Amino acid sequence: MKIVNYPHPALRVKAKPVAAIDAGVQKAAAEMLELMYRHEGLGLAAPQVTLDYQMIVMNFAGDPDREDLEVVAINPVIAEKKGGLINDREGCLSFPGLYQNVRRYKTVVVKYFDLKGEEREMVCHDLPARVWQHEIDHLQGELFIDRMGSLGLHRSQRDLDKYVADFEKAKKKGDLPPGLEAAVGVRHVLS
Ligand SMILES: [Zn+2]
């Protein structure tokens, strides 16, 4: 399992709901958590590892020793957004080194299934709410660059150009990023 970077088409795929939490899903969740910690992220969504189903893993402290803050969420939805929009710095493991301000709701009420298939509800504010909104966007094929606004995008252009160049280089070398064959419904924002 590997995290793919923008502009890998898997990042634009709309993930499908998980129908059954089987051994494959459980194994993927464990591997995603491990990858997330290794890359020092707070969250990781299945499309970032080219899996096309609705699963996200998070730890709001990014700390493997804080298992109490670890969440594996299957088929998550935001039931309510409130508290107004907050503009704050955000990054993404599929855009290494890029940080920009993005507007997110201060508070969200989320519903999801845990790995045991139990339905859960959580109310989060501030950073955890931001992580939820960022990761649930991934399941819709939405990326934080879509929410930056023109100024943020303009400031990100050099990084985005570099990701595209790296991707094209890998493709030319025949070193295709994994999962490319499974990618459907590719959509380009920055064309
Ligand atoms: Zn992300």
Average pLDDT over residues 31-49: 97
CA distance from start to end of the chain: 29
Residue 138 CA to ligand 1 center (angstroms) comes to 7
Q: Using alpha carbons only, give the angle 92, 98, 104 rounded to the nearest 5 degrees.
A: 55
Which residues are known catalytic residues? 135
Residue 22 CA to ligand 1 center (angstroms) comes to 25
pLDDT at 185: 39
pLDDT digits (tens, 9 = 90+) for 2-14: 999 999 999 999 9
Average pLDDT over residues 170-181: 71
pLDDT digits (tens, 9 = 90+) for 48-83: 999 999 999 999 999 999 999 999 999 999 999 999
pLDDT band at 47, cuts 50/70/90? very high
Residue 93 CA to ligand 1 center (angstroms) comes to 6
pLDDT at 180: 58
Domain 9-173 has CATH 3.90.45.10: yes
pLDDT at 176: 65
Sign of the Cα pseudo-torsion (121, 3, 165, 90, in order): positive
Average pLDDT over residues 1-30: 96
pLDDT at 167: 93
Could you tell me the residue ranges of all domains in the chain? 9-173
The pair of three-digit structure tokens given for residue 88, joined into one six-digit string: 């704050």
Q: Using alpha carbons only, give the angle 80, 81, 84 rounded to the nearest 5 degrees.
A: 155
pLDDT at 187: 39
Polymer length of the chain:
191
pLDDT at 184: 39
Residue 26 CA to ligand 1 center (angstroms) comes to 21
Residue 101 CA to ligand 1 center (angstroms) comes to 14
Average pLDDT over the chain, rounded to whole? Answer: 92
pTM for this prediction: 0.91
Cα 108 to Cα 1: distance, rounded to the nearest angstrom? 30
pLDDT digits (tens, 9 = 90+) for 90-137: 999 999 999 999 999 999 999 999 999 999 999 999 999 999 999 999
